[in-house]
């Protein structure tokens, strides 16, 4: 697993180039480092989250204009509820605000929006804003933006196993018919392509319970850049690195 600092190319969303041959269809990002970004500047952690939203905006726009098919962002894990209540409350407020303020951008770039993760425990106002944005973008035909909110990879796998077990118990599913495709169809990402590229910011080298089933063969790209500093140049560097790799999926490289 190589650690790449990311390079700043100065590319803006308006000047985005088409994706190169062999580029990833689906990019997933573990957005890490908001709190550290703020603390190293003597600011409260919530200011880092506020700046992190700006990164979400520019990366979503840049990815859409480059032609990425799907972008999945790890917004809030199930484990994040262990943080102070003030911080999690502010995160919910930011999410609600983002859902309202970004509708114009999402519509302009023809971006579809979906959510994965458990709805229970999320504030009603946040869910209402999210649902309204999802509905308003339902007819869009561009990039799919998937937001992982209150999400845990193990929870997702357990939920899928429970649903399959219930179907078998009800007699609507023969256990002998359960294969990888059937199991994947019961996940919250059913119908979506698996991520080709997993990006993690802030230099951490772990997957943090994110898309555990789906990233089985994803390429990893790690940058020391904290999420508020992550820009179009970093995303372009990750895409270029991916395009230069040979994906063998357990087999041998082409001759």
> Which DSSP state fits 79?
G
By DSSP bridging, strand 197-200 and strand 144-151 are unpaired
d(CA 208, CA 29): 11
Inter-residue contact 45 to 38 (CB < 8 Å) = yes
Q: Judge whether 32 counts as a catalytic residue.
A: yes
Q: Active-site residue among 17, 32, 120, 159?
A: 32
Return the closest-CA partner of residue 50 out of 94, 85, 6, 110. 94
Inter-residue contact 116 to 28 (CB < 8 Å) = no
Return the closest-CA partner of residue 198 out of 207, 190, 189. 207
The sign one gets for the Cα dihedral 47, 82, 75, 24 is: positive
Q: Active-site residue among 17, 34, 80, 224?
A: 80
Inter-residue contact 150 to 122 (CB < 8 Å) = yes
d(CA 52, CA 45): 11
HSE value, Cβ hemisphere, 13 Å, CA-based, for 66: 29
d(CA 220, CA 245): 11
Q: Which residues does 194 contact at the CB level (< 8 Å), separation at least 6? A: 26, 214, 215, 216, 217, 218
d(CA 219, CA 98): 29
Q: Judge whether 120 counts as a catalytic residue.
A: no
Give me the active site residues, please: 32, 80
């Amino acid at each position: 697993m190589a650690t790449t600092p990311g390079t700043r190319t100065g590319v803006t969303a308006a000047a985005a180039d088409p994706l190169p041959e062999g580029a990833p269809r689906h990019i997933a990002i573990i957005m890490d480092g908001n709190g550290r970004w703020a603390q190293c500047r003597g600011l409260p952690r919530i200011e880092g989250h506020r700046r992190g939203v700006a990164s979400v905006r520019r990366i979503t726009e840049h990815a859409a204009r480059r032609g990425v098919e799907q972008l999945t962002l790890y917004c809030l894990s199930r484990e994040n509820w262990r943080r102070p209540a003030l911080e999690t409350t502010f995160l919910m407020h930011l999410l609600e605000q983002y859902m309202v303020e970004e509708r114009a951008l999402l519509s302009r770039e023809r971006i579809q929006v979906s959510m994965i993760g458990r709805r229970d425990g999320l504030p009603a106002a946040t869910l209402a804003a999210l649902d309204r944005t999802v509905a308003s973008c339902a007819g869009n035909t561009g990039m799919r933006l998937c937001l992982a909110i209150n999400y845990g990879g193990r929870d997702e796998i357990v939920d899928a196993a429970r649903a399959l077990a219930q179907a078998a118990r009800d007699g609507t599913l023969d256990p002998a018919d359960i294969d990888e495709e059937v199991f994947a169809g019961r996940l919250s990402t059913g119908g979506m392509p698996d991520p080709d590229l997993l990006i993690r910011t802030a230099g951490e080298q772990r997957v943090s319970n994110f898309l555990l089933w789906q990233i089985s063969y994803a390429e990893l790209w790690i940058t020391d850049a904290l999420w508020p500093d992550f820009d179009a140049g970093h995303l372009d560097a990750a895409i270029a690195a991916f395009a230069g790799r040979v994906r063998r999926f357990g087999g041998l490289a082409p001759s």
